[in-house]
């Protein structure tokens, strides 16, 4: 204790005297009263003698309470027709000391008007000439009784959590004590026994018999803390300076200690100082070692209690209000703890679900959402909740690892971005996934490029139009040539035949060139158009060779049909297998020309028309399918290859 290293011989002797005094008949929860009058006894008695003739008329009915010095009776105040509580000195305790003590209690209470303090109506003299303190009648139950038997807790408090209920009662006691301290009065005997709980939630702090003032009122009516020379108070709650009878050290922080001792009893169910004899109990109070609490007591609440009950007054809370605020903060934090605990439970369920192969991804995401919401709510209530902070960190790490296992890079990145500290292993796993996804992305891009390159649906509409037009033109040119031959307008010669070739080639080149940009949209389109151009060039080469070799023109016409059939077959093999149908038209033209030489040009033209229109039909069908796929948003329903 501050300024007191060890009890001196005189103090130890005082304790031993108290311990051996059989008249005390004391347990550690009962109040030790001063055994001799203090310096202010005579002024107090002198003042009372002036008041002794002015006592009001009261009709005593029954006893409602009795203490070591006084007795409280129920009485009826005739003038106001109301019931009041009247406190007088016990008949067997009538003496100057007890009279003075009751007077001082009355004057202390008279200076204090607060919702948590019992109102004093008057001070007069009883039938024996002793002091009679008239107070408001209070109905209720002792906090001590309710603390150790929840059945006695008023309904106003019974509906809440036990700890919440008693902490809220304690905070109301703090309000009363803080008010008294504002009047520079110290209670010195704060304990659950001296607190009354009303049926409607009222909390009253009673028994100011040991109350002392920190300042002199100039009339000597109030005992002064500095004059204390005797051990007084309740041993199992007592502050070190009280056990040492050091009046010079007693101040508001003495009551803070007693409030902390009450908190200790709330947490543990027993007094702060527990021993089987008074001497040992007073030594425990004098030493006031910090209490060690088990896991059932929240660390924050244990710290509050030990700080309030610190051996040195300067180490305690500076005021009862500061102590009350610490408890209020804890209650706020407790809500945060509850949310964090529930989130922890959900987090553990999620951890188990992640390890269970039969658990669905949807269930895991639902558990994550609930747990993360719980931790975030806990931090909104109290941002300093370390359990919620670490729980949220652990939860996000767990979910990030799960998303990595699911190869969900974007989700993992979002989770990792919210971590204050990224574990090395998690960072390494994410980086490996990112690189793997980058490689897969590059491969996918390449596959998309390849897919587009071989997608024959691109430009299918333009190719269908081209094939339709070329089919008509490549039919009209040879048929016109044949009609002119039969009409005698021209004769069959290489000149006329080459002229026909020029017409076919020019028409093909012009049509393709006019629609080149729309025709050539990818590699597949390029190959198809190139195949047509290759066929035209090969046709030109065949006619040049026929001319050079002086082959019959009809024979060359027949071979040209086979040539174009071959080009169509190659296109079907390497570009689009559906084009195999075009082979039939060209073969028809070639074979027909061989068997019917007189109709070679007409048959060749019909073969050209059939083959080119077949291609037009195939590509038109692709165009329609592509259009429908675009409307339904399913680009992969189109045909490839």
Compute and round to an integer the Cα radius of gyration of the chain: 53
Buried b (16+ CB within 10 A) or exposed e, 492-531: bebeebbebbebbeebbeebbeebeeebbbbbbbebbbeb
pLDDT digits (tens, 9 = 90+) for 295-344: 889 889 999 999 999 999 999 999 999 999 999 999 989 889 889 999 99
234-287 pLDDT, tens per residue? 999 999 999 999 999 999 999 999 999 999 999 999 999 998 889 899 999 999
Contacts 24+ apart (CB under 8 A), 278-282: 278/15, 278/18, 278/19, 278/26, 278/28, 278/235, 279/15, 279/16, 279/19, 281/28, 281/235, 281/236, 282/15, 282/18, 282/231, 282/235, 282/238, 282/243
What's the pLDDT at 637? 45
Rounded CA gap, 244 and 253, in Å? Answer: 15
pLDDT of residue 53: 47
Please state, in angstroms and rounded to a whole number, the distance separating the CA atoms of residues 641 and 630: 19
Give the span between the Cα atoms of 95 and 130, in whole angstroms: 9
Q: What is the structure's pLDDT at 352?
A: 92
> Cβ-count burial of 213 within 10 angstroms (0-12 exposed, 13-18 middle, 19+ buried)?
buried
What pLDDT sits at residue 640? 44
**Residue 287 near residue 313 (C-beta atoms within 8 A):** no
Strand 141-142, strand 203-205: pairing: unpaired
Identify the CATH assignment for 9-318 out of 3.40.50.1100, 1.10.10.10, 1.10.510.10, 1.10.3720.10.
Answer: 1.10.510.10
- Whether the CB-CB separation of 85 and 138 falls below 8 Å is answered with yes
pLDDT (0 to 100) of residue 512: 82
So what's the pLDDT on residue 5? 64
Query: In the block, which residue shows the tokens 């007054």?
Result: 313
Alpha-carbon span 322 to 478, nearest angstrom? 110
CB-facing half-sphere around the CA of 309: CA atoms within 13 A: 29
pTM of the model: 0.63
Residues in the chain: 641
Q: Which residues contact 309 (CB under 8 A, 6 or more apart)?
A: 239, 257, 260, 261, 264, 272, 288, 290, 291, 316
Q: Which helix (H) or strand (E) holds 499?
A: helix 494-514
Q: How many CB atoms lie within 10 A of CB 23?
A: 6
Q: Which of 549, 463, 541 is nearest to 505 (CA)?
A: 541
b/e code 71-106 from CB counts within 10 Å (16+ = b): bbbbbbbeeeeeebbbbbbeeebeeebbbbbbbbbb
Evaluate whether 567 touches 603 at the Cβ level (below 8 Å).
Answer: no
SS (H, E, C) 438-461: HHHHHHHHHHHHHHHHHCCCCCHH
Q: How far apart are CA 452 and CA 401, in angstroms?
A: 36
What order do you get walking across the sheet with 70-77 strand by strand? 58-66, 70-77, 82-89, 131-136, 120-125
Average pLDDT, consecutive stretches of 10 residues, N- to C-terminus, the chain (641 residues): 63 72 58 61 54 63 84 89 90 81 88 91 85 90 91 80 92 97 95 93 91 86 87 93 93 97 96 90 93 90 96 96 96 90 94 85 94 95 91 95 92 92 93 89 84 80 88 89 86 82 82 81 84 87 88 91 93 90 93 92 93 93 76 50 46
């Amino acid at each position: 204790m501050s300024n007191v290293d060890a009890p001196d011989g005189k103090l130890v002797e005082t304790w031993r005297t108290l311990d051996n005094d059989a008249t005390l008949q004391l347990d550690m929860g009962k109040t030790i009263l001063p055994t001799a009058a203090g310096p202010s006894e005579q002024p107090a008695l002198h003042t009372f003698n002036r008041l002794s003739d002015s006592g009001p008329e009261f009709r005593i009915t029954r006893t409602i309470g009795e203490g070591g010095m006084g007795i409280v009776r129920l009485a009826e105040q005739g003038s106001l027709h109301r019931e009041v509580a009247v406190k007088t000195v016990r008949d067997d305790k009538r003496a100057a000391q007890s009279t003075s003590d009751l007077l001082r209690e009355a004057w202390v209470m008279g200076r204090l008007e607060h919702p948590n303090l019992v109102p004093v109506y008057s001070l007069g003299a009883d039938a024996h000439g002793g002091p009679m303190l008239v107070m408001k009648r209070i109905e209720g139950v002792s906090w001590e009784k309710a603390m150790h038997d929840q059945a006695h807790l008023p309904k106003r408090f019974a509906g809440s959590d036990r700890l919440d209920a008693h902490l809220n009662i304690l905070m109301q006691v703090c309000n009363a004590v803080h008010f008294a301290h504002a009047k520079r009065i110290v209670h010195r005997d704060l304990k659950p026994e001296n607190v009354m709980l009303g049926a409607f939630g009222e909390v009253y702090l009673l028994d100011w018999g040991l109350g002392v003032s920190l300042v002199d009122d100039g009339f000597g009516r109030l005992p002064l803390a500095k004059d204390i020379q005797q051990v007084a108070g309740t041993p199992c709650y007592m502050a070190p300076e009280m056990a040492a009878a050091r009046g010079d050290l007693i101040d508001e922080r003495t009551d803070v200690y007693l409030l902390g001792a009450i908190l200790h009893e709330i947490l543990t169910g027993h007094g702060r100082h527990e021993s089987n004899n008074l001497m040992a109990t007073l030594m425990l109070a004098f030493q006031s070692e910090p209490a060690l609490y088990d896991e059932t007591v929240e660390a924050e609440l244990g710290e509050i209690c030990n700080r309030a009950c610190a051996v040195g007054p300067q180490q305690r809370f500076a005021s009862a209000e500061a102590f009350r605020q610490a408890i209020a903060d804890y209650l706020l934090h407790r809500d945060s703890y509850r949310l964090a605990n529930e989130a922890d439970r959900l987090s553990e369920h999620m951890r188990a679900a992640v390890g269970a192969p039969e658990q669905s991804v949807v269930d895991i995401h639902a558990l994550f959402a609930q747990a993360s919401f719980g931790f975030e709510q806990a931090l909104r209530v109290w941002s300093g909740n370390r359990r919620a902070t670490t729980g949220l960190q652990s939860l996000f790490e767990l979910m990030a690892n799960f998303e990595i296992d699911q190869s969900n890079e974007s989700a993992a990145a979002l989770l990792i971005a919210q971590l204050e500290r990224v574990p090395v292993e998690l960072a390494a796993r994410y980086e490996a996934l990112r690189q793997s996804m980058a490689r897969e992305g590059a491969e996918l891009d390449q596959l998309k490029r390849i897919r587009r390159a071989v997608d024959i649906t691109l430009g299918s509409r333009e190719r269908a139009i081209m094939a339709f037009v070329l089919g008509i033109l490549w039919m009209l040119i040879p048929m016109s040539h044949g009609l002119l031959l039969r009409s005698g307008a021209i004769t069959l010669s290489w000149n006329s035949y080459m002229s026909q070739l020029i017409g076919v080639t020019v028409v093909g080149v012009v049509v393709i060139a006019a629609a080149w940009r729309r025709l050539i949209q990818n590699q597949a389109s390029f190959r198809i158009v190139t195949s047509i151009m290759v066929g035209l060039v090969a046709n030109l080469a065949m006619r040049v060779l026929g001319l050079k070799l002086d082959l019959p023109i009809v024979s060359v016409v027949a071979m040209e049909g086979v040539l174009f059939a071959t080009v169509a077959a190659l296109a079907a093999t390497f570009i689009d297998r559906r084009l195999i149908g075009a082979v039939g038209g060209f073969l028809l033209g070639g074979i027909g020309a061989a068997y019917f030489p007189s109709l070679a040009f007409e048959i060749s033209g019909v073969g050209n028309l059939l083959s080119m229109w077949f291609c037009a039909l195939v590509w038109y069908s692709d165009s329609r399918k592509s259009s429908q796929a675009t409307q339904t948003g399913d680009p992969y329903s189109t045909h490839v290859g």
